[in-house]
Amino acid sequence: MELLKRKIIEKGTVKEGNILKVDNFLNHQLDIDLLNEVGKEFKRRFAEENITKILTAEVSGIAIAAITAQYFHVPVVFAKKTESKNLDEETFEGNVYSYTKEKQYKIRVSKKYIAKGENILIIDDFLANGQAILGLKEIVDAAEANLVGAGVVIEKGFQEGGKILRADHINIQSLAIIETMEDNKIVFRDYRD
Ligand code: 5GP
């Protein structure tokens, strides 16, 4: 998606530990015009699928999933990262290992909000090692729902996640795939000037 790639080049900064900071439009301030285009593009890529629900994880997936859902006309459910008294006791759980924080945590969704046989589209901001999407997939599997695919805004193609998930036959649609980002120079996998 050229508009997104241009925005990454213009506003993204590369941080230590192979982290791309996109706070200007995706992770802190939100560029709603851009997110609408992201939502439309996900709809175009999954147009043939009968999606009944969008699943993401709090916090940064929520805005993207909510805007995308307007083009699918389905509800969004976001997995919660913190245990809370407000969350129903009956939950589906997934495990996520965070390489940046070097720890494992659980994500949870109330059993009320994913029904057996539903067609689920996962949406997330980044795909790096694939742990977040695998954790969300665990929830979909536990609910006996169908995982239709995953829409990712930015995939870091030099990390293993994309390879692992595609080998697992998950339909991963990434709107920008970064091949390298050494010395602050971001190169996309299929970038044409
Ligand atoms: P994974 O589970 O695929 O290793 O990482 C995905 C999650 O980690 C995303 O949901 C995102 O929140 C975070 N993440 C991974 N890499 C980056 C990055 O380079 N920049 C930002 N902003 N978040 C990242």
25 lines ligand 1 (CB under 6 A): no
Q: How far is the centre of ligand 1, averaged over its atoms, from the C-alpha of 36 (Å)?
A: 21
Place of tokens 């900071």: 21
Statement: residue 193 has pLDDT above 60 = no
Confidence band, pLDDT 50/70/90 cuts, at residue 181: very high
User: Per the structure block, which two tokens stand in for 6?
Assistant: 């241009």
Statement: residue 191 has pLDDT above 80 = no
Q: Which amino acid residue places its CA nearest to atom 22 of ligand 1?
A: 21
Statement: residue 192 has pLDDT above 60 = no
DSSP 112: G
User: Per the structure block, which two tokens stand in for 175?
Assistant: 């709107």
127 lines ligand 1 (CB under 6 A): yes
**ipTM for the predicted complex:** 0.98
Does 150 show up as a binding residue in the annotation? no
Cα angle value 43/35/54 (rounded, 5°): 50
Does 132 show up as a binding residue in the annotation? yes
187-193: average pLDDT: 73
Percent of the chain with pLDDT over 90: 89
31-47: average pLDDT: 98
Q: Which amino acid residue places its CA nearest to atom 17 of ligand 1?
A: 19
CATH topology of domain 2-188: Rossmann fold (3.40.50)
Cis omega (within 30 of 0) for bond into 74:
no
121 lines ligand 1 (CB under 6 A): no
Q: CA-CA-CA-CA torsion for 158, 159, 164, 167, nearest 10 degrees?
A: 0
